[in-house]
Homo-oligomer: A and B are copies of this chain.
Amino acid sequence: MEKINIALVGYGNVGRGVEEALKLNADTELVAVLTRRPEQVRKELNDLPVFHIDEKPGDIQIDVAILCGGSKEDIPVQGPKFAERFNTVDSFDTHAEIPSYFQKMDSIAKERGHVHVISTGWDPGIFSLMRVLCDAFLPQSKQYTFWGEGISQGHSDAARKVVDVLDARAYTIPIEQAVRRVRTGETPEFAKREMHKRMVYAVAEEGADIERIRRDIAAMPHYYDDYDTEIVFISKEDMRKNHSKLPHGGFVLTSGVTGEGNKQILEYRCQLESNPEFTANVLVACARAAFRLSMDGYRGAFTMLDIAPRYLSPHSAETLRKSFM
């Protein structure tokens, strides 16, 4: 079998997760890593070509570049840059900026002839897909997305960008009473802060202005300003010991009525012991789709809403019809 040649851009939690995920997918192969710190990464990856992120990776055949960096500073720059040369997949998760990022990637794609699958992963990504499907299946229904309890990488990254924050982990916590009301069939209107709260554990630079950090985090637009956020300062030691795992979970609930008052409830739920490892697996499935879409002659930016599900699967259309229908 001809394998799909994958390059990683970035080698953090998600990058390492993708490296592991590729081993589970027999039709893919990791052929290069591009990183800001090639010297360090080379020590971890003996057998693999490692390049500085600004280097051209020589004559290595790359079918899809998976962008494994953060949404706040990495992907908005790396997306358009790597789109010039490769099919790409990313997990850009700043919801409010997805439409403009899509436009940018789409216009580069049309010029250069590539496929770019943007904003994949869990949410945006699978949960987006579920919202669209369940809304289509139950028109005039109400939808609720609950996240947690778990660590949000996007929100942790964001908190880490605040001056004098050395490290941070942000937990998303669904508000139990809200969940209970929806599960028992009520369809209330919630403000964002009535559905979730956020809890940030932060390590601050010695002598930093703790109150200023608190304010800076709590006021970050798109990330924290719509929620009640509790911020707890802890030691590096405490962070390493008690907050090194990256679990997450959540569910999309769609509640509708058909005919003469028949209640119809659809629910999609994730329960993840490792969020980045799961996101990594979704990125790999989308890399497969990007490659196949490009082989089928498609050009442009895609979200998971634009991809026929069979493109994501390692199995043939025949096998899917025979064994999965």
Contact = CB atoms under 8 A, between A and B. Distances in A.
**Chain A contact residues: over half helix, strand or loop, or mixed?**
helix
Complex copy number for this chain:
2
Contact of A309 (B129, B140, B267, B269): B129
Contacts of A304: 309
A222 to B, nearest CB: 13
Given A99-B322, A132-B324, A137 B310 contact: no
Interface string A250-274: 0000000011001111111111111
A303 B320 CA distance: 10
A309 to B, nearest CB: 5
B312 A133 contact: yes
B258 A278 contact: yes
B309 A133 contact: yes
Contacts of A272: 262, 264-265
A266 B130 CA distance: 12
B259 A17 contact: yes
B20 A258 contact: yes
Contact of A131 (B132, B277, B324): B324
A271 B278 contact: no
A166 interface: no
Contact of A25 (B17, B139, B312, B320): B139
Interface string A119-157: 100001010110111011111100000000000000000
6 contacts: A24-B258, A128-B325, A129-B309, A133-B312, A262-B272, A265-B272
